[in-house]
Amino acid sequence: MALKRGLSSVGVHRNRSSGSRFPIVILVLFSVLAPLVFFVGRGLYKSDQNNVQSGYTKQTVDWRERLALQSIKNLFTKEVIDVVTTSTADLGPLSLDSFRKGNLSASWEVVETSVKDDATSQAAELKQETSKDGKLLDDDRSPDAPAKTLRRQLRDNRRAKRAAELVHQDDEATLKLENAAIERSRAVDSAVLGRYNIWRREIENENSDSTVRLMRDQIIMAQVYIGIAKMKNKLGLQQELKIRVKESQRAVGESTVDADLPHSAPEKIKAMGKVLSIAREQLYDCKLVTGKLRAMLQISDEQVRSLKKQSTFLSQLAAKTIPNAIHCLSMRLTIEYYLLPLEKRKFPRSENLENPNLYHYALFSDNVLAASVVVNSTIMNAKDPLKHVFHLVTDKLNFGAMNMWFLLNPPGKATINVENVDEFKWLNSSYCPVLRQLETSAMKEYYFKADNPTKSASSNLKYRNPKYLSMLNHLRFYLPQVYPKLDKILFLDDDIVVQNDLTRLWSVDLHGKVNGAVETCGESFHRFDKYLNFSNPHISRNFDPNACGWAYGMNMFDLKEWKKRDITGIYHKWQNMNEDRALWKLGTLPPGLITFYGLTHPLEKSWHVLGLGYNPSVDKKEIEHAAVIHYNGNMKPWLELAMTKYRSYWTKYIKYDHPYLRSCNLSE
């Protein structure tokens, strides 16, 4: 037992010894291996952690860049993005760096700032700073800063070079313009320009009127101060101003240039200047002076209108009056005629007066010289003067002169006869409406009381011309009564000149019309509405306002058709309706247009050219190729106011070396 117990104790001891070594070994193993495992494991863990974190960071950056690019695309159109991509093509593919270039506008910089805020990353963050001129500069610490700097320098150099080239081109263009201007200025005669230059000095003008204008200005200011002096009871100064005004007015007179002034003019200017200086000190008041000047201006304006109206009336009167030289000729011829025996007062070939196979002319005139031009020009251009017959009618005053002139100056082989309109007994007020109207008090007031401020007196002055008082002007409406044995007759005014043979007119087919005349209407003038009052129902119901007008002066009348259609009766009807001048104003053309309405055959325009008495731009070729030229208007060729460019066509048919013309001082 004891042995077993001993053995068992030894076994237990052995077991205890082996059991004590094993924990020590384990402890040693753990103490050595545990740190190794810990550090190795920790290293592996950190490596995994770094790999995971790096992958996560790269994924985050890529996502943020895509988000920034998407934001830019939402902010700008495709065209803008394309432009940016193209302009930065040298920098490679489109990236955020391409939007961080230094030459962006303010609007791009705002977008760049917002993109930078949204795309911040730990791995790549660029720093920017603002320059003085507002542009963003790249940070020098960026990896590609030297390349960007080099590109920027190249770009700046190119811009500077281009700017220099443009400036050089501008300088060259400016220099060329200056040289061209210099050459043009050298080509102009400066001496001629200086004479008409508005900035010239008065002393350089040969006909300077500065002194005349100064004196007239002084007179105006003196008249202003005269009125103010009277208002302020400065009678002495007023009298002194009046004296100086009279002296200056006498000195100036009708002078228009300084050379016309008398030698005393400078003294008058000084004397007036002294008085005006005193008047200015005592009387000057801005409101009073302005009011006086305005009143003087209004008075002058009224005077100008009155004088213009008077001038118009006188010019109309002068157009139908006879100059003194022609009146002298008429008086001398009249005396000579009534000294002739009765047997010598007759014209030859009186048997031709009623022969319908000859060419008959009707001429109504009270102007001896004008009638002679019409007859002479017709005969001189006629192929067969023997077949031409002139029927001349004048008034009692000029009857003797007309007869005497053509007795002394017969028209070659042509036949001529002169009659006195006052001897037409059938032409009286009971038969002729015009004569009856001329006897009314209203017509007499219209003609002889023009100063009376009535409605009729204020109408157009040309309609109050004395020619409308003469029955010679209305005798054209009574041709069948004057020449009952004739079939056709050519009516001529006394202010025409015949340049070609007119015999072909008698063979013109009038197609059943009564009147053959040249039409005068154009696009919008010389139509019926110019002569007739279409506000009157009698006119508007019977006539077309756009109907073409025609000219009196050279008219072929078919007297047979005239009688058939009772043209004179039509004329009487309308003349009676116009007693109050409501249908047309006085004259013979308006009633002629009405009377021959629809009964006028248009002739070729080359037969009759008008306007030489008022139109300075009549074509010379038309005048030279015209059969008849007409001086209708106020500028008659026998008046001083005639247009000289047309006068030679008329004067070449007058023999100014005639004794009667020389005795009356008639000359070209």
Distance separating alpha carbons of residues 383 and 189, to the nearest angstrom? 57
**Of 454, 562, 472, nearest to 513 (Cα)?**
562
Residue-level pLDDT at 32:
56
Q: Could you say which DSSP state residue 452 is in?
A: S
For residue 633, count other CB atoms closer than 10 A to its CB: 16
Helical spans, DSSP H, in 536-636: 537-542, 559-565, 567-577, 589-595, 620-625
Cβ–Cβ < 8 Å for 402, 394: yes
Structure confidence at residue 96 (pLDDT): 45
Among 594, 485, 483, which residue's Cα sits nearest to residue 533?
Answer: 594
Residue holding tokens 């109907």?
547
Closest residue by Cα to residue 442 from 429, 424, 456 = 456
Which of 337, 405, 328 lies closest to 365 in space, CA to CA?
405
Provide the CATH number for the domain formed by 324-448+463-664 in this structure.
3.90.550.10
Structure tokens of 423?
């001897």
**Which segment of 240-244, 441-445, 471-475 scores lowest on mean pLDDT?**
441-445
> Which H helix or E strand runs over 491?
strand 488-492
Rounded CA gap, 140 and 100, in Å? 13
Domain boundaries in the chain? 210-319, 324-448+463-664
- Going by pLDDT thresholds of 50, 70 and 90, the confidence category of residue 138 is very low
Q: Which pLDDT score, from 0 to 100, does residue 302 have?
A: 86
**Residue in the block written with tokens 């008698």:** 506
pLDDT at 290: 87
Q: State mean pLDDT over 430-456.
A: 68
**Model confidence pLDDT, tens digit, residues 299-347:** 888 888 888 877 777 777 777 677 889 999 999 999 999 999 998 999 9
pLDDT in tens, 261-287: 888 888 989 999 999 999 888 888 888
Q: Is the dihedral of CA 511, 515, 517, 523 positive or negative?
A: negative
Are 137 and 102 in contact by the 8 Å Cβ rule? The answer is: yes
pLDDT: which is higher, 329 or 526: 329
Q: What is the pLDDT of residue 63?
A: 60
**pLDDT band for position 505 (cuts 50, 70, 90):** very high
CA nearest neighbour of 586 among 432, 465, 496: 465
Residue 344 to residues 69, 332, 403, 479, 485, Cα–Cα distance (Å): 127, 17, 11, 28, 26
Considering only CA atoms, which of 318, 373, 312, 311 is closest in space to residue 647?
373
Task: Report percent pLDDT > 90 for the chain.
Answer: 38
**What rounded mean pLDDT belongs to the chain?**
77
Weakest mean pLDDT among 41-45, 194-198, 405-409, 533-537: 194-198
pLDDT at 557 over 90: yes
pTM exceeding 0.85: no
Query: How many angstroms from the chain centroid is the CA of residue 5?
Result: 156
Highest-confidence segment of 22-31, 113-122, 457-466, 638-647: 638-647
Residues with Cβ within 8 Å of 112's Cβ and at least 6 positions away in sequence, in order, are 99, 100, 104, 136
CA distances from residue 147 to 142, 143, 161, 572 in whole angstroms, order as listed: 10, 9, 21, 111
Look at residue 494 in the predicted model and tell me its pLDDT. Answer: 93
- Give the C-alpha separation, 419 to 646, whole Å: 31
More confident residue, 44 or 510: 510
Residue 517: enclosing H or E segment and its boundaries? Answer: strand 515-517
Q: How far apart are CA 63 and CA 459, in angstroms?
A: 98
pLDDT value, residue 198: 40
Residues forming beta bridges with residue 298, ordered by sequence position: none
